[in-house]
Amino acid sequence: MAQPANTFSTYDSVGIREDLSNIIYNIDPTATPLYSKSAKTKARNTVFEWMTQALRNATVNANVEGDATTAQAVIPTVRLQGRTQIFKNAITISGTDNAAAIDNAGRQREMAYQSLLEATAQKLDIELALFANTPNNAGSNTVARTLGGIPSWLVTNVSFNAADGGANPVGDGTNARTDASSTRAFTQALFDTVMQDSWTSGAKLDTCYLSPTNMTSALAFEGNNNQRSNVQAGDEKVIKSLAVYVTPWGTIEFMPSRMVRASDVILVQSDMWCCPILRATSNTELAKNGDNETRQIITELGFESKNQAASGAVYDVA
């Protein structure tokens, strides 16, 4: 039916206040599982060092009664070093926009809100750096220091496409690995081989980081010795989950990550990685240069591989 003549409706009104929700819905990805799981230690310089130790191989240890004793060859420790990387961002807000009199929707002060957003985004930058195929770099007055990401460390329990140029780094974080010119499918056989190699090396793998595409491939893994969590149902909902993957070589949790490289599947023993922090995240006001306020969000930290043989990876996957 049509409106009666001269009906005044909301379409005619110009004084209605907009219905703006006072809640801001942030859909940006904020999960940083690798950074969150890595222990946080104290760095005392831009260069930090640690040592690793390998055991000799087991031998048949049977000796003649009364014979002379020969000393066992000693395996020396390996001295490694890492570099801290500076993560820095700044926000500038006009004096008017940051004034207490401004009635902002969803937050009280614009600067406080934007600082919180930037600190959250900076954690994503850190997570990306930990997964990056970037080596430790000492930097200079004109070149930024960089921390060594996981691919620059792993050499023992890895699978890669050597036929098309894939190659390991040195393994001390000083150079990047070489990616193959082509990729291959991520298969259960490749994954299980790395699990077996890692177990043989003495690793106790607990978490596997992989891209959403490779996570979908992992969902198809099957076999009597390889079991996943069951599909759960309840309240007319079906929840498909892959919490853990059980193999003869250990139980590992699959963790999809938005920050891991799409061609990498990273398997780690979490307690063998840590982040030495030189400067914890801080929010500092910078000098004024006009009718505005500028604040700087800064974090400085490195990444330490306590023993690269305690982790593994499948590289060069599609």
Lowest mean pLDDT among 10-24, 71-85, 289-303: 10-24
CATH of 33-53+77-314, one of 3.30.70, 3.90.1690, 3.30.200, 1.10.1060: 3.90.1690
Whole-number percent of the chain with pLDDT over 70: 81
pLDDT at position 100 over 80: no
Mean pLDDT throughout 186-211? 95
Model confidence pLDDT, tens digit, residues 133-177: 999 999 999 999 999 999 999 999 999 999 999 999 999 999 999
Instruction: Provide the pLDDT for residue 20.
Output: 53
pTM for this model (two decimals) = 0.83
pLDDT at position 75 over 70: yes
Q: What is the full DSSP assignment across the chain?
A: -PPPTT---TTT-S-PPP---S-----S----HHHHHSEEEE--SSEEEEEE--PPPP------TTPPP-PPPPPPPEEEEEE-EEEEEEEEEETTTT-TT---SS-S-HHHHHHHHHHHHHHHHHHHHHHSS---B---SSS--BPPPGGGT--SEEE--GGGT-B---SSSSSPPBPPSS-B---HHHHHHHHHHHHHHT----EEEE-HHHHHHHHT---TT-EEPPPEEETTEEE----EEEETTEEEEEEE-SSS-TT-EEEE-GGGEEEEEEEEEEEEEPPP-SSEEEEEEEEEE--EES-GGG-EEE-SB-
Instruction: Provide the pLDDT for residue 276.
Output: 96
Model confidence pLDDT, tens digit, residues 221-251: 875 445 555 444 444 444 444 568 888 898 9
Task: Pick 15 or 113 by higher pLDDT.
Answer: 113
Instruction: Provide the pLDDT for residue 18.
Output: 56
Share the mean pLDDT of the chain: 85
